[in-house]
Chain A
Amino acid sequence: MATEAKMIREANQIATFFHSKHHDEGVAGIAEHLNKFWAPRQRRQFFDMIDAGGEGFDELVIEASATVWRPEPVAS
């Protein structure tokens, strides 16, 4: 739970910055940022939440999720 709240906060913080760009540029910026800096583990948790409806995320984050790379499933 704590993790989810933190993930929402961090993603939305990023989105807040990209709100000051043009819409398309902002969406692309968020996706690029997550691809560049978030480890697969984080993106996996991210997609778990997005796939479950993405409640709490900034709408720009949800839009950007379409171009965030989906990490390969964990081999365990």
Chain B
Amino acid sequence: MKNPMSLIREIDYGTPASTSETLVTLNVDGFEVTVPEGTSIMRASMEAGIEIPKLCATDMVEAFGSCRLCLVEIDGRNGTPSSCTTPVTPGMVVHTQTEKLKKIRRGVMELYISDHPLDCLTCAANGDCELQTQAGVVGLRSVRYNVDANHFTPKVRGESNFRYMEKDESNPYFTYDPSKCIACSRCVRACEEVQGTFALTIEGRGFESRVSAGAHESFIDSDCVSCGACVQACPTATLMEKSVVEIGIPEHSVVTTCAYCGVGCSFKAEMRGDELIRMVPFKDGKANRGHSCVKGRFAYGYASHPDRITKPMVRDSIDQPWREVSWDDAYAFVADRFASIQKTHGIDSIGGITSSRCTNEETYLVQKLVRQGFGNNNVDTCARVCHSPTGYGLGQAYGTSAGTQDFDSVEHTDVIVLIGANPTEAHPVFSSRMKKRLRAGAKLIILDPRQIALVRTPHIEAQFHLPLQPGTNVAVITAMAHVIVTEALYDEQFIRERCDWDEFEEYMEFVTDLRHSPEVVEGLSGVPSETIRGAARLYATGGNGAIYYGLGVTEHSQGSTTVMAIANLAMLTGNIGRPGVGVNPLRGQNNVQGACDMGSFPHELPGYRHISGEDVRNIFEEEWGVTLVKEPGLRIPNMLDAAVEGTFKGIYIEGEDILQSDPDTHHVAAGLAAMECVVVHDLFLNETANYAHVFLPGSTFLEKDGTFTNAERRINRVRKVMAPKNGFADWEVTMGIANAMGLNWTYTHPSEIMDEVARTTPSFAGVSYDHLDEVGSVQWPCNEKAPLGTPIMHIEGFVRGKGRFINTEYVATDERSGPRFPLLLTTGRILSQYNVGAQTRRTANVIWHEEDVLEIHPHDAEQRGINHGDLVSLASRAGETSLRADVTERVAPGVVYTTFHHPDTQVNVITTDFSDWATNCPEYKVTAVQVALATGRSNWQEEYNQQAEQSRRIEHDGELIHGD
């Protein structure tokens, strides 16, 4: 589908699709139509092209049958049943438009309209209102009013109207205007069924009924998480985006992909001219199926934030103010500096960092620039700091490093195991899909030090919560394997067919040892042995078991080992290779998967092929016309080490803020300060830019074409909806540097970059923009064997051949709490903010999260004389910062927790340089700390703010201004 520049209107079938395989044929107004059993008459008619009038039905939620507008007549049946709640039967003959029906419908509409303000011309939903449409559809021509009893006039006969309720504008992104509510309950059902939050209810009965958030609260004070589902569901202007109220309804739309998290939701960017009016989740989006969260739906305001830098800037040293220059001058500055550094300090003295926020095409170009232009392999990505152990661990066990399922798979899962992931906050739309399945009866096991929301939430309660001590994942998961093996709950047939049997026997011997028993592990992890046993039994015997895990698994010194332990569990129980099962890493940022796929690690070329392989090098040598180095390059921490030692002097950083996101801030700062040319390519003057010599303004996902690959390996198109404010898309900027270095790149569109990827990388061989336009999205591998991509991996056998069982010995982290630092700090994220927060902090989302706070158990707080809301200091052997305390039982005694969204907190001042043994993924999830009442901001915070202030000055028309 090429995008026509008109408003994409998706068909509303009225009720959700039925998944039945049995087909039923019926007759609607003289037309035969065949649909799956369980389909409503309304939906069947729509499929035949006949639209039955409706108000309370929409296909995002189950029918409720309250408005009585959708009545039909059926031969051989009495009365006028509602078509949204009546399922089809074979041979049924339906009439949707008869004199009788017309009359009833007009009567129904008249009733609705008589209690509705007729200010259509000035209403925000004018032209986009189903009530308006249906009034037209049923031919309503006159209305008898009852002026005394209505909901929409503040006064009746000079007295104040007790039925009237004020608008609720408390949510920053949408309004609730009760005077326009028709009590159809679509919003209530959307909040329950689609989002799973149960924030809304219908209060009162009959004529008095109105929607209410929580118990008579404003939206902002209720449980509402601002996902927007109710706003989409509302047929009137009652729930309405503020942007539409302010600007008007959109006239064209473009389908694109959210740039926030690894779910990769598809949206229609609805525009008026080049102004973005709203982002509406796209029903055909295969990751989100028409749902969204507050970030993708509403938090795009950063794209037009005044802090955005739009002109390139340079300076000779970081104590000088920035100087605005032309693009060409900036490119020349970079090329000259890099060349002279390499001349003096050698080929290996510069490198580049790609970002998982960038598109695949941009990432590919950065690693190409490093390999082809810099002549070394010093390229790394921030995926290093989150999911590198997934790549290593799954690669070892299964032969490929990616998640095994698509998101739809969860609909077939019976037991969900959630390890170190908090999807309600970090992967909201997937969590909604998960919650839907849990409400339908699937069981839930959670391994997490904190009592995350899913442990107990409306209509869901985890069967088992294993609140393990941070750092003991391997012990607990191996103990689960111990139970499965010693109680003979494993799937012998699967193991014999799919796995290496000798290795399995060795593994059996290993895991049977008493040191892996739940009873022993209880002592290390604090999890009662019976809970471990119960969880293991449930996973092994409860039907389709699927494991979903997050950064709480990977960001540990034993991250890779934990991933292997998870891989073992799935193989043991045969939970691999079909719908409903599998091992699924939940990726943090939007394009973590893609960044890894595109060869941004220093040891491998695109498609996970090690740089030492001659055949692979040959492919790229031919394509790029250079000889490639066969040795692995430096990883980010090694680059910083080398910088401190004086052998690494220049770096190009695209879309990353390593000073804020990487561990041990002091070390990062020292490394950056020791370099001679730091090039930051980003939207804002981020924290890293305080140490930069060149700033190249970046573009947002709304301003460029490209692709993102989500956590299910799905390649989704990102489409340009407006011109870049900075003048160039990011791929053009990288090309500018390359060409200033004499590389002669000639791309005219990102599709050509994807073509190059497809040419050189077998798992992408079938991917092209044309193909994506045609089929919407594909999950790699996508090639001749699988032209439509691969939703589920390892179906017939493992990618590597036989699956491998790997012994996973628990090793306590060096970061144990001791007398000086008796508490364990673990870190995480929250729903409304994204990563280092540079984007979300520049939107109205700050209303939900003004600062990072430290969660501490009441017992630990009391011991230290800390009250809720006190400013406390948080110190580790690496550094000290201060923030406010949140005294809560969500964390266990001995454990404290915080987020890392605000630069002022700089929680990474605290985190240490300990890392995963295999991949150097930093150990963010365990740091030994002490907490005490603070008198003020830490010295570091004070100094840091001064330095930042100094460093952000920009010389503009001979005056100094402050960038932000």
Please tell me which one of the listed residues A3, A20, A75 contacts residue B807 in the complex, with CB atoms under 8 A apart. A20
Which residue of chain A has the shortest Cβ distance to B392 in the bound complex? A37
B420 to chain A, nearest CB (A): 19
Q: Which of A36, A41, A74 contacts B603 (CB 8 A)?
A: A36
Contacting residues, chain B, for A39 (C-beta < 8 A): 348, 377-378, 602, 631-635, 638
Residues of B within 8 A of A42 (CB): 638
Q: Is B66 positioned at the interface, with any CB of A under 8 Å from its CB?
A: no
The listed residue with most B CB atoms (<10 A of its CB), out of A33, A38, A41, A75, is A41
Q: Nearest-CB distance from B474 to chain A (Å)? A: 10
Are the C-beta atoms of A75 and B814 separated by less than 8 Å? no
Residues A6 and B913 in contact, CB atoms below 8 Å apart: yes
Q: Are A20 and B647 in contact (CB under 8 A)?
A: no
Contacts of B561 in A (CB 8 A): 17
In the complex, chain B residues whose CB is within 8 Å of the CB of A74: 346
Asked whether A41 and B346 contact (CB < 8 A) given A13-B557, A17-B561, A20-B807, the answer is: no
Identify the closest chain A residue to B916 (Cβ).
A13
Asked if B645 is at the interface of the complex by the 8 Å CB criterion, the answer is: yes
Residues of chain A contacted by B377 (CB below 8 angstroms): 39
Contacts of B378 on A, CB cut-off 8 Å?
39
Interface string of B637-659 (1 = CB under 8 A from A): 01001100101000000000000
A-side contacts of B808, CB under 8 Å: 20
Distance to closest chain A CB from B481 (angstroms): 14
> In the bound complex, do residue B807 and residue A21 qualify as a contact, i.e. CB atoms below 8 Å apart?
yes
Which residues, 369 to 400 on B, are CB-close (under 8 Å) to A? 377-378
On whether A17 and B917 interact (CB within 8 A), knowing A36-B610, A74-B346, A76-B346, the answer reads: yes
Contact mask A14-26 → B, CB, 8 Å, 1/0? 1011011100000
Q: Nearest Cβ in chain B — how far from A45, in angstroms? A: 9
Residue B799 is within 8 A (CB to CB) of chain A in the complex: no
Cβ of B147 < 8 Å from any Cβ of A? Answer: no
In the complex, the answer to whether B917 meets A13 with C-beta atoms within 8 Å is yes
Task: Please report the C-alpha to C-alpha distance between residue A16 and residue B510 in the assembled complex, in whole angstroms.
Answer: 15
Those of B892-924 within 8 Å (CB) of chain A? 913, 915, 917-920
Kindly identify which residue among B346, B557, B632, B917 contacts A38, using a CB–CB cutoff of 8 Å.
B632
Q: B254-277: which residues lie under 8 A (CB-CB) from chain A?
A: none
What residues of B have a CB within 8 angstroms of the CB of A56 in the complex? none
Instruction: From known contacts A39-B633, A41-B634, A41-B647, infer whether A9 and B814 are also in contact, taking CB-CB under 8 Å.
Output: yes
Query: Is B811 an interface residue, CB under 8 A from the partner?
Result: yes
* In the complex, chain B residues whose CB is within 8 Å of the CB of A41: 348, 634, 638, 642, 647
The listed residue (B610, B811, B913, B915) touching A16 by CB distance below 8 A is B811
- Asked whether any CB of chain B lies closer than 8 Å to the CB of A10, the reply is yes
Within 8 A of B (CB), among A36-76: 36-42, 71, 74-76
Q: How far is the CA of A3 from the CA of B378 in the complex (A)?
A: 19
Given A13-B557, A33-B918, A41-B642, residue A20 in contact with residue B348 (CB < 8 A): no
B817 in contact (CB, < 8 A): no
**B512 interfacial by beta-carbon distance below 8 Å:** no
Q: Would you call B809 an interface residue if the criterion is a C-beta within 8 Å of the partner chain's C-beta atoms?
A: yes
**Closest residue of B by beta carbon distance from A69:** B631
> In the assembled complex, how far is the CB of residue A41 from the closest CB belonging to chain B, in whole angstroms?
6
**Closest partner residue, chain A, to B557 (CB atom):** A13
Per the bound structure, the CA–CA distance linking A41 and B807 in Å amounts to 31
> On chain B, which size bracket covers the interface?
20 to 34
In the assembled complex, how far is the CB of residue B482 from the closest CB belonging to chain A, in whole angstroms? 15
Q: Is the CB of B632 within 8 A of A16?
A: no
The reply to whether A17 and B918 contact each other, CB–CB distance below 8 Å, is yes
CA distance A43 to B348 in the complex (A): 14
Q: How far is the CB of B142 from chain A (nearest CB, A)?
A: 79
- B768: Cβ under 8 A from any A Cβ: no
Query: Taking the complex as formed, is B153 at the interface, i.e. its CB lies under 8 A from any CB of chain A?
Result: no
Interface size class of A (residues with CB under 8 A): 20 to 34
A40 to B807 Cα, complex, angstroms: 30
Given the complex of chains A and B, what is the CA–CA distance between A11 and B714 in angstroms?
36
Of the residues B638, B809, B918, contact of A14 by C-beta under 8 Å? B918
C-alpha gap A13/B632 in the complex (Å): 20
User: In the complex, how many angstroms separate the beta carbon of A1 from the nearest chain B beta carbon?
Assistant: 12
CB pair B809 A20 closer than 8 Å: yes
Contacts of B631 in A (CB 8 A): 39-40, 71
Complex CA distance for A53 and B609, rounded to whole angstroms: 35
With a cutoff of 8 Å between Cβ atoms, the chain B residues found around residue A16 in the complex are: 809, 811, 917
Residues of chain B within 8 A of A21, CB atoms compared: 807
**What is the distance, in angstroms, from A62's C-beta to the closest C-beta of chain B?**
17
Query: Contacts A6-B913, A39-B602, A76-B346; is A17 near B638 (CB within 8 Å)?
Result: no
Whether A10 touches B917, Cβ cut-off 8 Å, given contacts A19-B809, A75-B346, is yes
Contact of B612 among A6, A17, A33, A36 (CB under 8 A): A36
Give the distance in Å from the alpha carbon of A63 to the alpha carbon of B313 in the complex: 52
Q: Choose among B560, B632, B920 the residue that contacts A36 (Cβ–Cβ < 8 A).
A: B632
Q: Point out which of B610, B612, B638, B917 has the most chain A C-beta atoms below 10 A from its C-beta.
A: B917
User: Once bound together, how far apart are the Cα atoms of A17 and B392, in whole Å?
Assistant: 13
Inter-subunit contact B510/A20 (CB<8 Å):
yes
Interface centre among A6, A17, A33, A40 (most CB of B within 10 A): A17
In the bound complex, residues from chain B placing their C-beta under 8 Å from that of A75 are: 346
CA distance A23 to B641 in the complex (A): 32
* Docked pose: A13 CA to B348 CA in angstroms: 27
Residues of B within 8 A of A3 (CB): 641, 645
Q: Which of B573-631 contact A (CB under 8 A)?
A: 602-603, 610, 612, 631
**Interchain CA distance A10-B807 in the complex, whole Å:** 20
Neighbouring B residues of A6 by C-beta, 8 Å: 641, 913
A57–B309 Cα distance when bound, in Å, is 49
CA distance A35 to B613 in the complex (A): 13
The smallest beta-carbon distance between B683 and chain A, in angstroms, is: 31
CA distance A41 to B644 in the complex (A): 14
Chain A nearest CB from B512 CB (Å) reads 14
**Which of chain B's residues 321-363 have a Cβ closer than 8 Å to chain A?**
346, 348
Chain A residues positioned under 8 Å from B348 (CB to CB)? 39, 41
In whole angstroms, how far apart are the Cα atoms of A57 and B563 in the complex?
Answer: 26
Interface centre among B561, B631, B809, B913 (most CB of A within 10 A): B631
Interface centre among A19, A42, A71 (most CB of B within 10 A): A42
Task: Tell me which residues across on chain A come within 8 A of B635, comparing CB atoms.
Answer: 37, 39
| Alpha-carbon distance between A10 and B557 when the two chains are bound, in angstroms | 10
Q: Shortest Cβ distance from A36 into chain B, in angstroms? A: 6
Flag if B603 contacts A17 (CB, 8 Å).
Answer: no
- A44 CA / B612 CA spacing, docked (Å): 18
Q: Chain A residues near B917 (CB, 8 Å)?
A: 10, 13-14, 16-17
Scan B802-844; emit 1 where CB is below 8 A from any A CB, else 0.
0000011101001000000000000000000000000000000
Chain B residue nearest to A71 in the complex (CB): B631
Shortest CB-to-CB span from A52 to chain B, Å, is 18
- How far is it, in angstroms, between the C-alpha of A38 and the C-alpha of B602 when the chains are bound? 9
* Interfacial chain B residues near A10, Cβ < 8 Å: 915, 917, 920
B911 shortest CB reach to chain A, Å: 15
Instruction: Kindly report which residue of chain A lies nearest to residue B345, judged by CB atoms.
Output: A76
Chain B's closest residue to A16 (CB) is B811
A37 engages B632 (CB within 8 Å): yes
Residues of A within 8 A of B915 (CB): 10
Q: How far, in angstroms, from A42 to B634 measured CA to CA in the complex?
A: 9
- Of all A-B residue pairs in the complex, the 7 with the closest CB atoms, nearest first, are A13-B917, A20-B807, A20-B809, A39-B634, A40-B631, A14-B917, A39-B632
For this complex, 22 residue pairs linking A to B, each with C-beta atoms less than 8 Å apart, are A3-B645, A6-B641, A6-B913, A10-B917, A13-B917, A14-B917, A16-B809, A16-B917, A20-B808, A21-B807, A35-B612, A36-B612, A36-B632, A37-B603, A37-B918, A39-B377, A39-B632, A39-B633, A41-B634, A41-B642, A41-B647, A76-B346
* Residues of B near any A CB (own CB < 8 A): 346, 348, 377-378, 510, 557, 560-561, 602-603, 610, 612, 631-635, 638, 641-642, 645, 647, 807-809, 811, 814, 913, 915, 917-920
Which A residues form the contact surface with B (CB < 8 A)? 3, 6, 9-10, 13-14, 16-17, 19-21, 33, 35-42, 71, 74-76
Given contacts A17-B918, A38-B632, 5 further A-B contacts (CB under 8 A): A17-B917, A21-B807, A39-B633, A39-B635, A40-B631
